[in-house]
Amino acid sequence: MPAAPPNKPKLVSLEAGRKYAWCSCGQSAAQPFCDGSHKGTDKTPIVFAAKHSGETLLCQCKETKSPPYCDGSHNNLDDGYELASIEEIEATKGAEDVARTGGKFGLSMLYGGAFALTPAPDDRCDDGDLQWAALINAANGAANLHVFEFTIGQETEWRVHDECDVVFFVASGAGAIEINGSRACLFSETGACVKRGEAFRFLPSETMYVIAAVSPGGGAFKKIARPSKTSIAINDRIVAVDPANRKSMADRFYQELVDHHAGAENITQFIGEVPKSRAAFHRHLYEEAIYIISGSGILWTRGSRTNVSAGDILYLPARQEHSLECTSDDGLRLMGVLYPSGSPAINY
C-alpha cells in the first residue's frame, strides 16, 4: 500500500452512467480507485456516476476541493509543481530550433502540432472600420479553438457571430463595447464575452488591439445594420484583472477572466504570470492558445523548440506534451484561452 499517493492526477477512461468508487483515504493500491484499504480508518470512498464517457483526470493527492476530480490543488503541495529536471534539460539539448518561416505571420510549426506565430501589420485584412487577421484556425492545424486579432481605431459597424460565443481580450488601448445596445467600458487587460447571436460594436477612445477566441470551430463575423434587441444586462460579461482573484500555482499566478460566470459556455480565458523557470513537460486535456503580453521564453515540445516573446501567439493541441519556459528576469505575463473550458492549474 502506498504511504502517500502521488501528487499528480491520474488520467482515467470512464463510461457514462457507470458508478466508480474514488479512494479518499489515500491507502488504496489501485489509485485513484478504492480497493477497500480504508477499513479501520474514518474515511470512506466517494461513489460517483460518470456523467460522460471519455478521459478525465481524477485526484490522487486527496487535496482537491471537488472530489473525485483534480482541481489543481496538487500544484501547491511540496514538490507538487514539477520543474524540468536536469535529465529532461539534458535530453532536450538536441531539440530542433524552429525559426519563424518568414511566410504569413512567420509561423514556427513544432513537432506534435503546437506552433507559435508573430502577427504582423502587413498580414491584416482591412475591413474599413477595423483591421483583422485569423491567427489560429483549421488552416494551421487547430482543431476547435480559433483565434482572431482586431486592430480598432474608430467606431466599428455592428457585427454578430451566429455560431459561437466570442471571448475578447483587450491587449492594449481603451474605449467601450456595445452588446445589443448596452454599453460597457473596456481598457487594457479586460476580458469580454459576447454570446452567440448577439450584436456588438467597439467604440475606441484610443486604438484598441483585441484578441478574439471563438470555439468550437471558427465560423464568420457578419456585419449587420443594427441589433434586433436594444438592451441587455452586460455587467457580468466584462471582467478586469483583480488582485483579489489571483490564484497561486506554486510560484506562478493566474486569474480566470471570462468563463461560464461571464456567459462563455465553452471557453475559459485567464491571465497568468510565470517566473523565470522551465516547467517539466506536461499535457492538458484542452486546446490552449496563449498571447504573450510581456517577457520572452521558449516553447518546447519533444524534439523541437522555438523562441517566443511579447506579441506572439501560441497554440497547443489537446494532450500535446509541452513546456513554456520563461527566460526573462521579470517573468512572462500572458493571456490564455482554453477549449473546452477548464482550469489552467490542471495538467498531467
C-alpha torsion sign, points 82, 83, 86, 89: positive
The reply on whether position 60 binds ligand FES by CB under 6 A is yes
Which three cell numbers mark 213?
Answer: 477566441
Placement of cell 451566429 in the chain? 162
In this chain, which stretch among 34-42, 60-68, 294-302, 309-317 interacts with ligand FES, using CB under 6 A? 60-68
The correct pick among 21, 34, 70, 186 for binding ligand FES (CB under 6 A) is 70
The correct pick among 25, 61, 130, 136 for binding ligand FES (CB under 6 A) is 61
Would you say 150 or 281 has its CB closer to ligand FES? Answer: 281
Would you say 76 or 140 has its CB closer to ligand FES? Answer: 76
Burial of 43 (0-12, 13-18, 19+ CB in 10 A): middle
Would you say 74 or 322 has its CB closer to ligand FES? Answer: 74
The reply on whether position 199 binds ligand FES by CB under 6 A is no
Rounded distance, CA 105 to CA 282, Å?
Answer: 27
The correct pick among 20, 34, 63, 249 for binding ligand FES (CB under 6 A) is 63
The correct pick among 24, 64, 190, 266 for binding ligand FES (CB under 6 A) is 64
Q: What is the distance in angstroms between the CA of the first residue and the CA of the last residue of the chain?
A: 23
The reply on whether position 56 binds ligand FES by CB under 6 A is no
Would you say 196 or 319 has its CB closer to ligand FES? Answer: 319
Alpha carbon separation from 105 to 123, 172, 336 (Å, rounded): 7, 20, 19
In this chain, which stretch among 53-61, 84-92, 210-218, 312-320 interacts with ligand FES, using CB under 6 A? 53-61
Q: Smallest distance from the beta carbon of 319 to ligand FES, in angstroms? A: 17
Number of residues that bind ligand FES (CB under 6 A): 12
Burial of 341 (0-12, 13-18, 19+ CB in 10 A): middle
The reply on whether position 28 binds ligand FES by CB under 6 A is no
Alpha carbon separation from 263 to 175, 180, 267, 275, 307 (Å, rounded): 21, 15, 10, 31, 35
The reply on whether position 82 binds ligand FES by CB under 6 A is no
Q: Smallest distance from the beta carbon of 280 to ligand FES, in angstroms? A: 15
Alpha carbon separation from 215 to 147, 160, 245, 284 (Å, rounded): 9, 14, 25, 17
| Chain residues that interact with ligand FES, rule: CB under 6 A | 8-9, 59-61, 63-64, 70-74
